[in-house]
Structure formats: C-alpha cells, structure tokens
Structure 1
Amino acid sequence: MGSLTWLPATERPDLLGAPVAAALSLLPGPAWVAEIDAELADTAAFCAAYDIPLEISANCVVVAARRAGQTTLAACVVLATTRADVNGLVRRHLGARKASFAPQDVAVAESGMEFGGITPVGLPADWPVLIDPEVEAADFVVIGSGIRGGKLAVAGSLLAALPAAEVLDGLGQPLPEPDPSAPATPPTRAPDDSDVGWGDRPGEPADDDRRYLEDRPPHWGSD
C-alpha cells in the first residue's frame, strides 16, 4: 500500500510499542508494519507523504467518559474521512454524563503508547474499544503501531475481533462541509488528531470544560 515497505509485524518489533508487540497474538490473522518518519505520523501528513488514501487510514482516539465522579477510558476507531461522535453516541453508549477526548498526557500514560501512535491493538483489557462498521468492513486499514515511527496494516475484521471490541453503528460521522469562502489551508492533521482533540486546554474554555479538564482522578497526576 502506498509507497511504504510492509513487513510482517512479528519481524519488526522495534516498530511496535511494547503493549502492541505483546498483544499481536490476540489478532486472529496477520498484521503488517511499515517504518515511517516520526515527524509525519499525524494522519493527514502521513497519508499525503506516503500515498495512503484517507479512506483506508483510521484514527484511534481515546475518550474519557464521566458519570457520578467516576471516569472510564475507552477507544474509538473511525476512518480518517469521518470523526467520532464522542459527546453524542459514545457518551450515551457508555452511560456517561459527559464524554470528551482524554487529555494527551492521560492517553499516553494509560495506554503505554506514544502520542500519534495510539492504536486499538494492545490497549488495556478493561477499555471498551468501539469500532465503526466501515472500519470493520475494510479489507485493510492503516492504524498506529504504538510509536510515531511505524504504522500497522490489518484487516478491519481483525480489529472487530479483538476481545474488548464492539462494532457501533453510527460511530463515525461525516465531516462538515468546508466553508467555500474560507482561505484554503492544507491540513496537517485529521479532525480528531489535534491538540484540542487530545485534551489540551483551548484558549478560552467554558467553565464546565475547564473543570472537566482539571478534575481528574488522583492517579492521572496534575498539570
């Protein structure tokens, strides 16, 4: 696929995050890995540099769902041509009062993977892994490898077969139509793959959002 050289993932454990390498046996089929420039790990830049269509590239985003003072982490896997319906469908599915992208430092620390390389393979066993049906139906989908310097390619059906995976209809929502009057600027990241999307504090957050970002369980640490 694209201009990359793909090898069986078991032959290049150096291109895998430690949790990913340990979890390869959970996949009921082969996985392939390719080495990339770590500076090009963000989805849009990666696809442009290596001739990988966005339609076969998937984002795995970490979601923090909160209810009654308890926070649950989950992962959503959607094609790069869509974005996860986090505060609607995902929030309701997880039975949460509020759901949002997990702060970047939390996602990295709790997954054991690098920012920009988080992938559904090798996530903690108690995390729900929500898969969009279009991902499940893909013959091959390109996802992170646990580090920024690699990418995995697997059949979408293998991701849906992971122990904690659940296919959720409507998870991936169409992207909004671009404003034709806005100046054209080339994207460097897919919609969910952004600083705010990963939980970094926006310039002027609402009080509820500020409290949500700051009110973390003790084991998450503090800013």
Structure 2
Amino acid sequence: MTAPALGSLRWLPAAERTDLLGPPVAAALAALPGPAWVAEIDDDLADTAAFSDAYGVPLEASANCVVVAGRRAGETTLAACLVLATTRADVNGRVRRHLGVRKASFAPQDVAVSESGMAYGGITPVGLPASWPVLVDAAVAAAELVVIGSGTRGSKLAVPGALLAALPGAEVLEDLGQPLPAEPPAPVTAPVRRERAADDSDVGWGERPSDVSDDDRRYLEDRPPHWGSD
C-alpha cells in the first residue's frame, strides 16, 4: 500500500524498520490484521501536543493510549484506553462501568511502563499483554488512518482504525472519548488608577486659576509650586 501523507514525516512500512519499535510492538507486528507504517521522530517531541506542532500532524489524526487501573475487592485490573487526541478518556464513568470495578484511575507511571514493557509516552495498544482489555473509542475505530505510539518515544506508528478494533482483547465503545474541557478565559485586569499628586495641577505648576480673587492673586504668585494648592 502507498505510504500515508501525514505531516512532514517520512513513513515507512513498519516491518522494514523494526529497530524503531519497542520490543513488544516489534514482536506483535507480524500478527497485525492490516498494514502499519512507522516514522522516526525526536524523542523529546513524543508528547501529542508537541508532536502535532513540530510535524504538522493534526490532533484529530492522532490517538492517545492511556493505561487505567481498575480496583475491586482488593484486586487490580489493568486496561488500555484509546481515544482521539482531541478528547479525553472517560475513566471514572464509561471505563469504570465497563470494567465493573469500584474505582478506576490512571495507572502510576512505573506500573504502566513495567507491565506494558514500553516507554512512557510511547505506550500503544499494539503488543500489550494478552490479559489486558483494550478499549477503543468508536471514533478511533472508524478513522481511515490514525497515528499512535510505537512502544518508544523515538517514533510513531500509523495504522487504520479498523486494525485497532481488531486487536486481541479490543472492544469498541461509544462515547469512550469525551470532549476536552474548555480553557478558562484569560482574566481581565482592571486598569490601574493612579492617584494624582496634590501639586500635579495647573495651580501646582504655577498657573493662575481663572476665577481667583484679587486678594489671593499675590499669594499665588509668590507661592512655590511644590507647596501644592488649597
């Protein structure tokens, strides 16, 4: 198949550059039910927003994979959630109810890394442990092509959404991804009102007021400006 045109990256068949993939991802590559491409990136730009800005890949063409820990009766279940980068995973609602757990939250970083065998910031649904549920948002599954992690921070994968929906343990859920909260408006700063010094006036600077009486005229003429005005 023709390599995708996504941003400024050079996409190659993933099977030709397994050196760019995390070990679990490279091991799972042959069993994928569809094509996969890989592109090398700066590992400092692996986070979604930085990646999108640097390489011109729209956020709506990227998907984030987060690891969730569900707890019930002292037991912990790990699961992966895949949602478009323009949304966030509904962990405490949709995910918790689907897993049938009392509490669900993002897994600690060290747990996510050690249990997946992948680099933090590069965790992807491809190559995860077979026991993990892989929850895929319906919008991701419907995407013609979506950019995901590769198991490392130094590259990205591009795969059809249908491939992700067909992964072992994958379940497609409606409304798994929820809209990101709107950013609060910037605070409006009231203009600073500066107090006027007592002698900062026409009279203070030696000018004569138009309605001054004759009795006060000599007094004002002889009065130093820095004395201020009455």
TM-score (norm. length: structure 1): 0.81
Q: Is structure 2 residue 110 aligned with structure 1 residue 105?
A: yes
Question: Aligned AA for 2:183?
Answer: P
- Specify the SS of the correspondent of 1:89: helix
Q: Is structure 2 residue 194 aligned with structure 1 residue 151?
A: no
Question: 56, 59, 74: which is aligned to 1:54?
Answer: 59
- Specify the SS of the correspondent of 1:179: coil
Question: 24, 27, 43: which is aligned to 2:29?
Answer: 24
- Specify the SS of the correspondent of 2:78: strand
Q: Distance in 1 between matches of 2:121 and 2:96?
A: 23
Partner of 1:134: 139
1:195-214 alignment runs, 5 A limit:
none
Question: 165, 168, 173: which is aligned to 1:168?
Answer: 173
Q: Deviations over 1:172-214 (max 9, x none)?
A: 000111112259xxxxxxxxxxxxxxxxxxxxxxxxxxxxxxx
CA contact (8 A) 1:26 1:162 kept: no
Q: Distance in 2 between matches of 1:26 and 1:67?
A: 33
Shift of 1:26: 2.6
In structure 2, runs of 5+ residues without a counterpart are 1-5, 189-230
- Specify the SS of the correspondent of 2:79: strand
Partner of 1:15: 20
Partner of 1:66: 71
In structure 1, runs of 5+ residues without a counterpart are 184-223
Question: 85, 90, 106: which is aligned to 1:80?
Answer: 85
Overall identity of the aligned pairs, in %: 77
Higher relative contact order by CA 8 Å / sep ≥ 6: 1 or 2? 1
Q: Distance in 2 between matches of 1:26 and 1:65?
A: 28
Partner of 2:96: 91
Q: Deviations over 1:137-162 (max 9, x none)?
A: 11100000000000000000000000
Q: Deviations over 1:58-86 (max 9, x none)?
A: 00000000000000000000000000000
- Specify the SS of the correspondent of 1:100: strand
Q: Distance in 1 between matches of 2:181 and 2:104?
A: 21
Tell me how large the CA RMSD over aligned residues is: 1.0
Question: Aligned AA for 2:39?
Answer: A
TM-score (norm. length: structure 2): 0.78
Question: Aligned AA for 1:118?
Answer: I
Q: Is structure 2 residue 62 aligned with structure 1 residue 41?
A: no
Aligned pair count? 183
- Specify the SS of the correspondent of 1:110: helix
Q: Distance in 2 between matches of 1:26 and 1:60?
A: 20
